[in-house]
Amino acid sequence: MQTAYTVLILLMLVGVSRLIGRLLPLPLPLVQIGAGALLAWPTLGLHVALDPELFLFLFLPPLLFSDGWRMPKRELWRLRGPILTLAVGLVLFTVVGAGYFIHWLLPGIPLPVAFALAAVLSPTDAVAVSAISRDRLPTPLMHMLQGEALMNDASGLVTFKFALAAAVTGVFSLANASVTFVLVAVGGLAVGVALSWLVGRLRSWMIARGWDDPATHVVFMLLLPFAAYVVAERLGASGILSAVAAGMMQSWLDLLPRQTSTRLLNRSVWSLLEFAFNGLIFLLLGLQLPDIIKAVASHETSLWPTLLYRCLDVLAIFLVLLVLRFVWVQSIWRLSVLLRRWRGRGEMTQVPTARSCWLLTVGGVRGAVTLAGILSVPLLLEGNAFPERDLLIFIAAGVILLSLIAACIALPLLLRGIEKSPDDKRRNEVRDAWRKTAEAAIHALEIEEINPQDAAQAALATELKARIMSEYRHQLDVFNDSAEAQALAFQMDLLERRLRLKALRAQRLELYSLSRHHQIGDDVLREVLGELDLSEANLGSVK
């Protein structure tokens, strides 16, 4: 029962931390780390023992799957050059540069283990950056950080596993590692895509036979990232890349017919799962902090001098990571400008500035994936304790905290004076999509032939067609090119939504009254209330 109580306490803290985060001017990850550390204080003394393999398997596949699902694919493809240089080139640059620096700074850490630590410090967390910047980052930079976070989760953790394997076996060959890296990566991507496609075919087969219960389909999709991870690992491929590829593939398969209810339920479930898992990871980091500090200073005679020196080591490693990232971003941007000139493509439409380079540099916040990776380091190596495992976890936790604090301070300063310009291109695409779909609906209704049995039914069918077509013509008026017509249509639309919302709330109150007076049963209450809630959700936010 103690384990169940601990899980319930942690889940409650995840929800409470979200409320506290609204009151404090701090990003949610820092609030959750602080809450976990407070809970682990000796007076409360909550302790959670983590199994490294279980931790890696439980948290990483669903988080990476969700990232792959949500990533805008078109923007990922358009920015593929910068994203690949950040997600692959920068990871390797960081592993080599930071790995040698860590080994030089802390000779007790073997070089392969230093490379493993540098690799696990490479993945970034775009969710934390978005929370800190409050969506004020320029859209291209935010897309680059999202794409980098998606791809370098995979590249950093795959490199981390190779470095750990070299530390365990004591054998490393760059040529063999490069070939194996490609095979493992391609295999992981192939397994994820194939498994996701098979699940999509299974769901299509079920839908064709009328088995379209939303809960069943959502359960299949919840199991998919774990299945992709396990199958890929069993085949010797990358389970991490398999989970990412499965998520990206599933976003296309999400457009199956007769799946409106499933999509609504699926988005809600995954939003909840992503929020809970991210929160649990940072809470667990806070819970581990006292034990991490004790373990690091346990072999020393004095606590505070040792802790101070270790904090200085963490600061030095973080500054080196920051410098390496800035040098890479600045160099790649300058190189891209030179290449464009050499190819005769002219100047770039958006010339990189010092501010944008620093935004990309400071935006490389470390987060949940780094913590999950470092806690997966095995406890034993050839029967002995893994070398400096506690110190590795301390350094990773310190870098996560410093990157969050640095972003909290630097991003608002760098974004000062920058007003995020409206995304006119996206707004025009939304308007065109609504207009064209409304025109398609009107055309489909115009050519629809209804063969009623009598004249009264024919008149009723004609009236219904006219009523539905008038609603779509109203949509066309809303997205008319004339600014004056748009303003009038939007004003009418807002008034209509307010009236509909008032009517829906009156329906809901009457429904509650019927239930209180036992005039309807609970099953009827749930069914009608679900329909009213869905109708209100379709209205959107009404100011």
Domain boundary residue among 421, 442, 466? 421
Six-digit token string for 396? 């990773």
What's the CA gap between 346 and 102, in Å, rounded?
A: 42
Residues 401 and 463 in one domain: no
- pLDDT range class, residue 315, cuts 50, 70, 90: very high
Q: How far apart are CA 511 and CA 482, in angstroms?
A: 42
Q: Please report, rounded to a whole number, the percentage of residues in the chain having pLDDT higher than 70.
A: 81
pLDDT at 85 over 70: yes
Contact 152, 86 (CB under 8 A): yes
pTM > 0.85: yes or no:
no
Per-chain mean pLDDT for the chain: 79
Q: What is the pLDDT of residue 165?
A: 76
Helix axes 139-169, 126-133, angle to 10 degrees: 140
* CA distance linking residue 489 with residue 476, whole number of Å: 9
Question: Residue 58 contacts by C-beta under 8 Å, 6 or more apart in sequence?
Answer: none
- The domain boundary residue, chosen from 396, 421, 446: 421
Domain with 91 in it? 2-421
Q: How confident is the model at residue 161 (pLDDT cuts 50, 70, 90)?
A: confident
* Residue 22 belongs to domain with CATH number: 1.20.1530.20
Do 442 and 487 sit in the same domain of this protein?
A: yes
Inform me whether the pLDDT recorded for 285 exceeds 50: yes
CA distance 232 to 214: 27
Confidence of residue 422 (pLDDT cuts 50, 70, 90): low
Identity at 140, one-letter amino acid code? P
Q: Indicate the pLDDT class of residue 175, thresholds 50, 70 and 90.
A: low
Residues 406 and 486 reside in one and the same domain? no
SS (H, E, C) 349-401: CCCCCHHHHHHHHHCCCCCHHHHHHHCCCCCEECCEECCCHHHHHHHHHHHHH
Within this chain, do residues 378 and 474 fall inside the same structural domain, yes or no? no
User: Domain check: are 451 and 310 in the same one?
Assistant: no
Q: What is the pLDDT of residues 125-139, one digit of tens each?
A: 776 776 676 667 777
DSSP state of 173: -
Report the range out of 99-108, 387-396, 431-440 with the highest average pLDDT: 99-108
Look at residue 349 and tell me whether its pLDDT is greater than 50. no
Yes or no: say if 254 and 73 are a contact pair by the CB < 8 Å rule.
no
Answer whether residue 194 shows pLDDT above 90.
yes
Per-residue pLDDT band for 347 (boundaries 50, 70, 90) equals very low
**So what's the pLDDT on residue 367?**
78
Residue 424 in this model has a pLDDT that exceeds 70: no
For residues 409 and 436, membership in a common domain is answered with no
394 and 447 part of one domain: no
pLDDT in tens, 500-532: 778 877 888 888 888 888 888 777 777 777 777
Residue 229 sits in the same domain as residue 264: yes
Task: Give the rounded percent of residues in the chain with a pLDDT score beyond 90.
Answer: 10
Q: How many domains does the chain have?
A: 2
Q: What is the pLDDT of residue 397?
A: 86
What is the average pLDDT across 404-432?
Answer: 73
One domain, residues 454 and 348? no
Q: How far apart are CA 351 and CA 171, in angstroms?
A: 45
Q: Hunting for tokens 């919302």 — which residue is that?
A: 501
- Buried b or exposed e, range 476-493, using 16+ CB within 10 angstroms: ebbbeeeeeeeeebeeee
Quick check: 60 pLDDT over 60?
yes
Last residue of a domain, one of 364, 399, 421: 421
Do residues 414 and 435 share a domain?
no
In this structure, the answer to whether residues 365 and 433 fall within a common structural domain is no
Same domain, 452 and 378: no
